[in-house]
Amino acid sequence: MHWADWTIDREAWFQQLVETHQSRLIHLAASYLGSIQSAEDCVQEVFITAMTRLDPTRPSEAVHRWLTTCTINRARSILRYHRVRRFVLMDNDGLSQFSLGRPDDYAALDETGILKQVMRLPVKYREVVVLRYYHDLEIGEIAEVLGVSVNTVKTRLRRAKDRLRQILEGHDGGEGEKK
């Protein structure tokens, strides 16, 4: 294959990569960073890195996993750099403009108030809930993406669900009543 042909093929591959993953990665980054604008910047940096580091012959599952891991790591770096430790609940308009091709899970959950409560969880619990229930990753995939064991992911999910259950039943887990 001639070098020019390879470049054209790589450009088409990269364009397809962006079209396929951009919306999902922006949602993921926004769940960490709290704004669509910051998430777009984060994902743009991830795609710049992908352009130079990803091999077009790599299996699509590996590319999906690599992009997810890279996005999470970049979002965490941005948070550390700016010393931002809180996550802001975004309005429906900010999220709904990036549809994942199915009903907007974020907006639908916002109506019930569950998303607001998920966003109030500590980061280690929130990230497993977001990856499991909003991005449909399996427990093993979450463990690999976060660099923790499967049992750690299961424990964090269980604790997150316990906290959410307490909140939704009217127990804040702080002052007052305890189960």
pLDDT digits (tens, 9 = 90+) for 10-28: 888 889 999 999 999 999 9
We report the CATH number of the domain holding residue 33 as: 1.20.140.160
Output the furthest CA–CA distance in the chain (Å, rounded): 72
- pLDDT digits over 68-109, tens only? 999 999 998 887 766 433 333 343 444 433 333 333 444 444
| Domains: count for the chain | 1
Q: What is the pLDDT of residues 25-66, one digit of tens each?
A: 999 998 888 888 899 999 999 999 998 888 888 888 899 999
Q: So what's the pLDDT on residue 43?
A: 96
User: 3-state class of 42 per DSSP?
Assistant: helix
Residue at 57 is within a domain = yes
The answer to whether the beta carbons of residues 67 and 50 sit under 8 Å apart is: yes
Domain annotation covers residue 137 = yes
pLDDT at 156: 95
Does a structural domain hold residue 178?
no
- The pLDDT assigned to 16 comes to 92
d(CA 134, CA 31): 10
What letter would DSSP give residue 89?
P
The helix or strand, by DSSP H or E, that contains position 178, with its residue range, turns out to be none
Per the structure, the complete domain to which residue 26 belongs is given by 3-168
On whether residue 124 sits in a domain, the answer given is yes
What pLDDT sits at residue 150?
96
Quick check: is 175 in a domain? no
Q: d(Cα 119, Cα 51) in Å, to the nearest integer?
A: 32
46-62 core/surface letters (b: 16 or more CB in 10 A; e: else)? bbeebeeebeeeeeeee
Whether 174 is covered by a domain: the verdict is no
Least Cα distance to 134 among 19, 35, 26 occurs for: 26
* Torsional sign, CA 139, 140, 143, 148: positive
Instruction: Give, as one character, the DSSP assignment of residue 34.
Output: S
Neighbours of 11 (CB within 10 A): 11
| Cβ neighbours of 120 (radius 10 Å) | 15
**70 in a domain, yes or no?**
yes
pLDDT digits (tens, 9 = 90+) for 116-160: 788 788 888 988 988 888 788 899 989 988 889 999 999 999 999
Question: What pLDDT is attached to residue 9?
Answer: 81
Residue 176 domain-assigned (yes or no): no
Report which residue type is found at 22: Q
Return the residue matching tokens 């993406």. 145
